[in-house]
Structure 1
Amino acid sequence: VPGGSGKCKSIVEGLGLDAAVDPRDPELAKKLADACPKGIDVYFENVGGKVFDAVFPLLNQFGRVPVCGVIAHYNDVTPPPGPDRTGMILGGVLSICNVYVGLKIGWGLNMSITGILLAFGIWFTISRVSGGRVRMLNRLENNINQSSVSAGGAISSAGLVSAIPAVTILEGTVFPWWQLVLWLSTVCFVGIAIAMGLRRQMIINDKLPFPGGIACAETLKEIYNTGAEALARVKVLVIAAVVASTIKVLAIAKLISTTSLGIKVAGVPASNYLLAFDPTLMMMAVGGLVGLRACISLIGGAIAAYVVIAPWLVSSGRAALDKAAAAAHNASLPPEQHITPFAEWILWPGVTLMVVASLVSFSFSMPSILRSFRRTSGTESRADEGEVTRPWFFFSLALALVLCVILQTWLFGISWWAAVFAVLLSFALAVVAARVSGETNVTPVGPMGKVTQLLFAVMLPKNASANLLGASITSGAASQCADLMHDLKCGYLLGAVARKQVIGQLAGAIAGALVGSWFYLILIKDPKTMLLTPEWPAPAVAMWKAVAEVFQRGLESLPPGAETAMLIAAAIGVVLPILEKTIPKKAALYVPSCSAVGLAFVISGTNSISMFIGACVGALVTKFAPNWSTRFWVTLCAGIIAGESLTGAVDAVRLVMTGGK
């Protein structure tokens, strides 16, 4: 970094150096970052001031800084706590968001970019308040923080919003906090161990894109090159969270409430068929992230479910309007003539549509599946400095196998051979999920779990616990494996140490298990009565429970007439994904999304309306303010979701402490 443009030119042209940056250039930080894409290992400091400020965020871990004549206070700067600790705290907190959202809509949200922005904003503020004596996280430290946050946020997909509640509903098994923490941490460790051995093959040799990792790398480069952009995003995130939290508080205080649509369905208010307007913002934000195409399918599914099918079921006597009406009808009739509330009846075709469509769509990933189990020809790359060595990889894999088998047999009474089979199958399916995620940016967590459920249905047809918990290993391992692969891709582009990312991922997963399990047990005291209701639809629980229930009890467990509806849904679930994959891309945009239509049958129509409104707002913003949308829309939605879900979490804790008052 010589002084003056003339010196820069002479050094590059005369001495043949790759680059020289003028410290007087107003874009010093950006040009320095562009010249050092993998960070800075050694910096000789004798300038201080803005040059030091530009260099420091780019310093790699353990970078060396010989100091000569530096401004005094720079020598007194205190480094922040390890990025894994920052990530553990944020990952634990954001795990609450995904448990809350997962029990509402059955999906989990990737928390990587949210974690990056929060960590940047927190340590920027601390650094400013301390007068610069506590420094910010640098770019690579924030990358490790991102790994921890995403791992903690993904804890819900290890079974906390699917298999665990389903087992409790079907078997009556109640899992204490310590068991959940042990189980979820071990399931996550299985996926993390697998990812250790895939990095070199998939990222370095095969050069799979892992688009989520690229997006995080670009975000990190952008916010550390131009701090103003990062601060603008953090402000949007915080303001959105505060607004959503305020509206949620008003709803909790009953100052605002769900509002009638002012229309009737089959002669009764639409609210009787779960159709109303919810003024809170979280579901609108989810719709804004999902997009207009999926939400058009969602609102279409809601109309079919709650305006067409549900009134017909009630009028024909095949289902009741609610639980009270069902109980009154069933009181004097034999069990074979009992009916269920319409919400329980329409769940079955909805679940069938989602399960069949996801498996058919996944079958189109067969080329990726085959590539997962063969080595590519060509030159094998050498191991990076800091890469997890093969001995550590095999040790971790063996440890994951042993721990997972022991916990299955000890905690859940599953046969040792079935436990071993579940883990080995999860090893293979996690590799498949990582490959598919690397090529498409979509991690097939649901289909992976369904494959395991189907195989366990053949091996142990009457054992619901083995069916559900074995499948939770597959889905949890697939989720953590793919998540870490995206993080490793980000780190590879930035020049991070892979070993430290793995440690950060494991730390975040443990934090997510600790906090997420605690929150789940506080929020859902009785899964049998609280879940599969309009307030907590828990679509993932409904899907996993339905599959296990059919294999355990047979078709006689279904409500009258549901078999025919399931067959029709299954046929649609086969035809539409095939149509979507085989017709031209432009025409495929008009094919309804089976996952969205099926989801509309499981969640309330009120939630579908909110998501559709959010998607419409997102489409309008994208059309009329494309630049603003690119910069801030995802951040805005993430802030709303975090604000409302965390406020809901605080209220759940309040209710426990005050005895429900």
Structure 2
Amino acid sequence: MQIRSDSPSSAAQSASTAVPVMKVERELSLRALCTGTLLGVLLTPSNVYAGLKIGWSFNMSIIALLAGFGFWQGLAARWGRGPGWTVHESNINQTVASAAASIVSGGLVAPIPAHTLLTGQSLPPLPLMAWVFSVSFFGIWIAWYLRPSLVDDDALVFPEGVATLEALTNTYRNGREAAQRLAALFIAAFLSGLVKWFDDFQRPIPRWAPTPLFERLGFNFDPSMLLLGFGIIIGMRVGMSLLAGALLAWGGLAPWLLAHGLVTLPPEASGPQFAALVQWLLWPGVSFMVCATLASLALRLLRRQSGGSASAPGLRLPAPGPALGLLLSVLLVVALQILLFGIEPWMAMLSIPLALCLAVVAARVVGATGIAPIGAIGKVSQLSFGILAPGQVTVNLMSANTAGGAAGQCTDLMNDFRVGRAIGATPMRQLAAQCVGIAVGSVIGVLAYRALIPDPQSMLLSQEWPAPAVATWKAVAQTLSAGLGSLSADVHAAILIGALCGTLLGTAETLLPARHVRWLPSPAALGLAFILPASVSMMMGLGALLTWLVGLRWRALAQRYGIAVAAGLVAGESMAGVGAAVFRLLQRAL
């Protein structure tokens, strides 16, 4: 799941007309590419870290806009010479950086570690970089051929693209405010990194809990600024849904499981017992999330079709020249499935049309709602390959990884195309910038993953690294491989109840008016709380609550600086965490 870094405060039409109209003077410049690359190097580890911690990632477009603008305009103001940092260079910069940071959709925080946990096999860095790049490269070319029909469809707003567009507009309208937001980001990042450094290398901050039982269930204090930052971003509905889910799962179900002997702990067990309890709790949580998301996705598509979406512009293919790029991406994905994972050629080739269809679905859903259904896309792919290749874990995970990775990059680039259309950018140059971004992200993302998780078997699905997306992909693959008969009767009942409740809530969320939906719990957050440690949900809920309280008193201040502070808290801790992991690796090597 990807958290949006902003939300559109006006309609797409008003946003597009507010952009300053100017001639394209500099666009795919060397400094724009280098700036985006540098920011991608800095920001990609943040998403890998956050994805393995809480299963969510952060859209980096607006952060890249602020950082690039602040640096180059600051230089121009200081020295009083040199070319200005143009709107189109800003767009290329954010395209490169966001493409690099969104590389986590290529599987680094979900199917790839799940495959390692189930098979014990781990790819070396270079083949893993090639694989992550290949599925992302495929998604870029799908977006290129979808661009004429979807970006020009007035029924598709692309809210995330509109948010980036508004940030771009406001930055060039009020450079002083952009500099202030950037300063807030850097201060928050420094404080967050300092807390992480102190906790890791100086004196561990106490993880206080009211009683030993609360501690075993995970209701202890977690001194994570990253979690507070994500709480600022997600808002009250999602934050309170996480708290409700934690109380239901870890405060209600977990003690019941222990009392009835469905989960047993060692007599001498002390501290959080996350690993033992989550093996049972993940099943109702996963079934709840999957069924809620699939029900919502199906109803949205049906409603769009019944509402006359057939009258929308048809597929209008651009010039056939880029067909070579699409063909190359297909050959690369198929060849790597065969060479790296031993998947049969016909099964590898079958993953291509499925990935294409699901990427189209994801692009339309993102255009209409702003929500990238990457998790649901992955589950549909896993279910499809579970039917076509029953019992084959590698096929189930890695062929499905093709669809998830392609859909992730396709939706990211479609939002960039939406911004580019409004400011008169050159689509092929945006595509080139996206290619640079995924190349950078593939290298840095894999290195960050290997530094953070040198031993997936012992480190993942633990209190420190809950990796909920990994747990979800692993659970689905296990179930489709061994069959539901391998699970106990109580787990069967939990899956059924979770699926029923998820379907009902997903249906209600889609069909009810927006004024009523805001009072419903978020299905994704409610289910996710079953897989996250209770301490994580508590801290994120606290961040959401504090932001809401600040907004009641200083609404303008919260709106102006909230996202910048949140991004700083996320980036500061995650980069400090990656740095600490690299330092420990060097210590062991020396």
TM-score between the two structures when normalised by the length of structure 2: 0.91
Q: 1:147 aligns with which of 91, 95, 100?
A: 95
Max Rg structure:
1
Distance 1:319 1:418 in 2: 39
Q: 1:287 aligns with which of 231, 240, 260?
A: 231
1:107 equivalent in structure 2: 56
1:588 equivalent in structure 2: 517
Task: Describe the superposition over 1:395-446 as per-residue Cα deviations: whole angstroms up to 9, x where unpaired.
Answer: 2222211111111111111111111111111111111111110111111111
Aligned-pair CA distance for 1:594: 2.2
Q: 2:258 aligns with which of 305, 314, 328?
A: 314
1:163 equivalent in structure 2: 111
Distance 1:582 1:420 in 2: 37
Change (3 A) 1:571 1:612: same
2:123 equivalent in structure 1: 175
Written as runs of structure 1 = structure 2, the 5 A alignment for 1:247-262 is 247-262=195-210
1:120 equivalent in structure 2: 69
**CA contact 2:149–2:314 (8 Å) conserved in 1:** no
Change (3 A) 1:478 1:258: farther
Distance 2:21 2:359 in 1: 29
Change (3 A) 1:34 1:451: closer
Q: Which has the higher contact order (CA 8 A, sep 6+)?
A: 2
Aligned-pair CA distance for 1:158: 0.9
1:39 equivalent in structure 2: 22
Aligned-pair CA distance for 1:204: 2.2
Written as runs of structure 1 = structure 2, the 5 A alignment for 1:72-111 is 81-111=30-60
Distance 1:323 1:440 in 2: 49
- Two-structure CA RMSD over aligned residues (Å): 2.5
Task: Describe the superposition over 1:73-92 as per-residue Cα deviations: whole angstroms up to 9, x where unpaired.
Answer: xxxxxxx7331222122113
Aligned-pair CA distance for 1:225: 2.4
TM-score between the two structures when normalised by the length of structure 1: 0.82
Q: What SS does the corresponding residue of 1:426 show, helix, strand or coil?
A: helix
**CA contact 1:368–1:436 (8 Å) conserved in 2:** no
Written as runs of structure 1 = structure 2, the 5 A alignment for 1:621-640 is 621-640=550-569
Q: 2:280 aligns with which of 334, 345, 358?
A: 345
**Is residue 2:464 matched to residue 1:464?**
no
Task: Describe the superposition over 1:104-130 as per-residue Cα deviations: whole angstroms up to 9, x where unpaired.
Answer: 11111111001111111222344455x
Distance 1:530 1:35 in 2: 49
**Is residue 2:508 matched to residue 1:525?**
no
Task: Describe the superposition over 1:607-648 as per-residue Cα deviations: whole angstroms up to 9, x where unpaired.
Answer: 011001000011112222121122111111011101110000
Q: Which moved more, 1:216-225 or 1:95-104?
A: 216-225
**CA contact 2:149–2:313 (8 Å) conserved in 1:** no
Q: What SS does the corresponding residue of 2:35 show, helix, strand or coil?
A: helix
Aligned-pair CA distance for 1:540: 0.4
1:357 equivalent in structure 2: 292
**CA contact 1:430–1:478 (8 Å) conserved in 2:** yes
Q: Which runs of 5+ in 2 are unaligned?
A: 1-15
Distance 2:267 2:576 in 1: 30
**CA contact 2:550–2:558 (8 Å) conserved in 1:** yes
Q: 1:188 aligns with which of 133, 136, 141?
A: 136
Task: Describe the superposition over 1:51-101 as per-residue Cα deviations: whole angstroms up to 9, x where unpaired.
Answer: xxxxxxxx4549xxxxxxxxxxxxxxxxx7331222122113211011000
Distance 1:308 1:649 in 2: 35
Distance 2:306 2:323 in 1: 22
Change (3 A) 1:278 1:470: same
**CA contact 1:206–1:376 (8 Å) conserved in 2:** no
**Is residue 2:194 matched to residue 1:246?**
yes
Written as runs of structure 1 = structure 2, the 5 A alignment for 1:19-30 is none
**Is residue 2:220 matched to residue 1:276?**
yes
Change (3 A) 1:633 1:295: same
Letter matched to residue 615 of structure 1: A
Letter matched to residue 143 of structure 1: N
Q: Which moved more, 1:411-420 or 1:87-96?
A: 87-96
Q: 2:533 aligns with which of 604, 621, 631?
A: 604
Q: Which moved more, 1:574-583 or 1:528-537?
A: 574-583
Change (3 A) 1:205 1:586: closer
Aligned-pair CA distance for 1:372: 13
Number of aligned positions between the proteins = 571
Distance 1:213 1:35 in 2: 14
Q: What SS does the corresponding residue of 1:501 show, helix, strand or coil?
A: helix
Distance 1:316 1:651 in 2: 41
Identical-pair percentage: 37
Letter matched to residue 363 of structure 1: A
Distance 1:199 1:322 in 2: 57
Change (3 A) 1:116 1:377: closer
Q: What SS does the corresponding residue of 1:149 show, helix, strand or coil?
A: helix
**Is residue 2:248 matched to residue 1:304?**
yes
**Is residue 2:467 matched to residue 1:538?**
yes
Aligned-pair CA distance for 1:195: 0.8
Letter matched to residue 446 of structure 1: G
**CA contact 1:284–1:614 (8 Å) conserved in 2:** yes
**CA contact 1:356–1:574 (8 Å) conserved in 2:** yes
Task: Describe the superposition over 1:141-169 as per-residue Cα deviations: whole angstroms up to 9, x where unpaired.
Answer: 11011111111111111100000000000
1:66 equivalent in structure 2: none
**CA contact 1:534–1:604 (8 Å) conserved in 2:** yes
